[in-house]
């Protein structure tokens, strides 16, 4: 009874590279809440960029009282991966205990499919062009950049997928000078969104800069407390449950961000369908949905999310919620 944590590893279909490094597998933590014969599950992906590891997040979860509630959780853990997995497991447990779906508990309309981006990892221009050509049937591609020499990569992807919408994720890899130099070319090549062009601690340079292509805060936006620091810098916020610390805060962040005039993107770490499932609720009506984690895997959970020409579908109750 209480909380249980399990480490799971999912092989990737191919190596995934961003400006910070490469990986060939997704290492996640699965949290289970077991009470009254009912089991609720949640998944998180600890992220070293935010000072997290499998060990530190597991210790945070196991340090919680066995009877923790969603309401009490926010006084016990900060925003981050540990709180996310527990929060989502509690939502799942509550829905299963009540014999209803999570969106009913949250007072939301039943969700539908949302078109999702498909991510191309960072590589040499020739490799990225080949990858783009292979995925050119997809209406929305996200490309990982973040080096001083990204122009040939961007040109190559556009050649490979001339009809796809493109969003760019620099993962904090550009300087203000590099970003300013690239800006007109981003617009020329039909890029519709740029994620986190500058490091989170150096994004003051965005104030007063022209933004012909909307700029999205990722590493600069974690939860509602982040919003005051985004003024004048960003047009869009990327909501990821591993940053907000769960579905509860993600829904609140979405509501507040929209009320303050931001557009919303809903993103993910590289995880399984269990990690994406709660995010499908937040993604309803978002400007951009980027929940392609399972599409990057060679293996997934039982009863995985369905991806088709309509996008990513909400989960079946057998998976989550």
Catalytic residues: 144, 240
Residue 207 CB neighbours (<10 A): 9
DSSP 207-218: TT---SS-EEES
Adjacency order of strands within the sheet including 118-120: 118-120, 140-144, 165-169, 191-195, 215-217, 236-239, 263-266, 288-289
Phi then psi dihedrals of residue 313, to 5 deg: -90, 155
Element (H or E) spanning 280, and its range? helix 273-282
Quote the CA–CA distance of 229 and 51 in Å, as a whole number: 21
CA 97 to chain centre: 28
Helix%, strand%, coil% for the chain, nearest 5: 35, 25, 40
Question: Which helix (H) or strand (E) segment is 132 a member of?
Answer: helix 125-134
């Amino acid at each position: 009874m209480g909380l249980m944590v399990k480490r799971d590893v999912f092989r990737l279909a191919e190596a995934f590279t961003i400006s910070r490094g490469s990986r060939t597998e997704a290492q996640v933590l699965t949290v289970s809440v077991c009470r009254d014969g009912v089991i609720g599950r949640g998944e998180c992906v600890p992220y070293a960029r935010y000072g997290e590891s499998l060990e530190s997040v597991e210790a945070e979860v196991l340090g919680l009282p066995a009877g923790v509630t969603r309401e009490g959780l926010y006084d016990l853990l900060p925003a981050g991966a540990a709180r996310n997995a527990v929060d989502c497991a509690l939502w799942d447990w509550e829905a299963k205990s009540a014999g209803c779906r999570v969106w009913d508990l949250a007072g939301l309309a039943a969700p539908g499919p949302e078109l999702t981006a498909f991510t191309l990892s960072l590589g040499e221009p020739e490799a990225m062009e080949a990858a783009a050509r292979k995925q050119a049937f997809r209406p929305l591609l996200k490309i990982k950049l973040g080096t001083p020499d990204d122009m040939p990569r961007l040109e190559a992807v556009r050649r490979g997928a001339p009809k796809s919408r493109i969003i760019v994720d620099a993962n904090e890899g550009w300087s203000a000078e590099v970003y300013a130099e690239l800006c007109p070319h981003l617009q020329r090549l039909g890029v519709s969104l740029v994620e986190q062009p500058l490091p989170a601690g150096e994004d003051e340079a965005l104030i007063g800069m022209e933004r012909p292509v909307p700029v999205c805060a990722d590493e600069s936006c974690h939860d509602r407390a982040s919003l005051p620091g985004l003024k004048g810098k960003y047009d869009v916020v990327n909501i990821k449950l591993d940053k907000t610390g769960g579905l509860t805060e993600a829904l609140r962040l979405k509501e507040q961000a929209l009320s303050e005039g931001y557009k919303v993107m809903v993103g993910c770490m590289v995880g399984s369908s269990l990690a994406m499932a709660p995010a499908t609720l937040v993604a309803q009506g978002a400007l951009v949905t980027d929940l392609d984690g399972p599409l990057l895997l060679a293996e997934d959970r039982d009863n995985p999310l369905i991806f088709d020409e309509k996008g990513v579908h909400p989960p079946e109750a057998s998976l989550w919620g």
